[in-house]
Amino acid sequence: MNTFVTLLKREYWESKTSFVWVPLVITGITLFTAVLGLIIVSTGNIETVEYGSHDLGSLFKLYDVSVDSDIKAFATQSALYSGVYTYYFVLAIVGFFYCLGALYDDRKDKSILFWKSMPVSDSQTVLSKLVSVTVVAPLLYWLVIITTNFLMLIIGTIFAWLSGVDAWSALWANSGFFKIAAYQFAAIYMAMFWAIPFVGYLLLVSSWTKKVPLLVATVPPVLVVIAEGMIFKTAHVISFLGEKMFGVVQALVAPFNSLAREFSQKRADVEDDIPIFDEFEFMSFGQQFQDSGFWVGLILGAAMIAAAIYIRRFRDEAF
């Protein structure tokens, strides 16, 4: 266990920039944009978009005592939740390139010979990289995300005070801070479960290829999809990949869908022109666990990770 923890620490220090500093930079940009946006909104010079009988300009005027609390709650909670999609997108890019280089870079620079001389098994090495990209990195991003949400509420509180408004009733009471944090935690790890086939494939490529892992990882699937379409007139491969990618998106969007549906149901008792969001229904986390495609992806991902461990034993050089 101590050896595995040491390997995780190694991965953390080697990837600290992409695991920590990148999301912190996003936070800095987000906070700056939030302050700028609040200044613009406070002037009232903003074009509005209709949502039922309410416009988004009114929806986000959280300090207006005439706005119902459920509207304030939806505005605050949806803003806190949907603001994280930039982090998710960046995490996907970081994870993609991390996996590609995870088992290739040390063969390229010959440092694998040093690590092979240490009392560390190949399975521990591969699994430490798997845990780093599917557990550690998402956890670090989530911590940055909830910190960002907290700071966003602090900024809103300052503006409330400057406006002579009670920040608790206008903002904090409706924020659902801990609920949103739990939603974000569940969403990011549910997405990681769906992404296991992609992670396993990239680790397999990283352990096997001798040159240019990016091309080796991307070109063959494209050729297989094209060949299947031309020869068999089917699209099973692209459908499988699309299902797994949609699973990732669904995991990330499902909580927001729940927030929107909750808001719609509350407002339906008050007014008739609020959409009920039936058109874009996403499965809940429980329903996703019952999806057979979800488990097929996990099994295939596990098989490819096992193959990566096996290949790692015999690959000492990249060239």
Q: So where are the chain's domains?
A: 11-312
CA–chain centroid gap for 77, Å, is 17
Mean pLDDT of 39-65: 49
Distance between CA 181 and CA 75 in Å, rounded? Answer: 16
Is pLDDT at 19 greater than 90 in this prediction?
yes
If we measure between CA atoms, which residue out of 64, 24, 21, 20 comes closest to residue 41? 64
Whole-number pLDDT of residue 47 = 45
Measure the CA–CA gap between 187 and 116, rounded to whole angstroms.
37
pLDDT band at 292 (very low <50, low <70, confident <90, very high): very high
What secondary structure letter does DSSP report for 217? H
**Residue of higher predicted confidence among 59 and 129:** 129
pLDDT at 313 over 60: yes
Better-scored residue on pLDDT, 66 or 167: 167
Q: How many CA atoms lie within 13 A of 38 on its CB side?
A: 19
When computed from its CA atoms, the radius of gyration of the chain, rounded to whole angstroms, is 23
Q: Is 51 helix (H, G, I), strand (E, B) or coil?
A: strand
Which residue reads 């290829």 in tokens? 209
pLDDT of residue 148: 95
Q: Count other Cβ atoms within 10 Å, centred on residue 145.
A: 28
Q: Are 152 and 34 in contact (CB under 8 A)?
A: yes
Residue 155 contacts residue 38 (beta carbons within 8 Å): yes
Are 77 and 175 a contacting pair, CB within 8 Å?
A: yes
Question: Residue 208: how many CB atoms within 10 A of its CB?
Answer: 17
Q: What is the DSSP-derived secondary structure letter of residue 73?
A: H
Q: What is the mean pLDDT of the chain?
A: 85
The more confident residue out of 47 and 27 is 27
Using DSSP's 3-state secondary structure scheme, residue 54 falls into strand
Q: What is the pLDDT of residue 139?
A: 98
- Is residue 113 within 8 A of residue 178, CB to CB? The reply is no
| pLDDT of the residue at 274 | 52
The more confident residue out of 294 and 33 is 294
Q: What is the pLDDT of residues 197-248, one digit of tens each?
A: 999 999 999 999 988 999 999 999 999 999 999 999 999 999 999 999 999 9
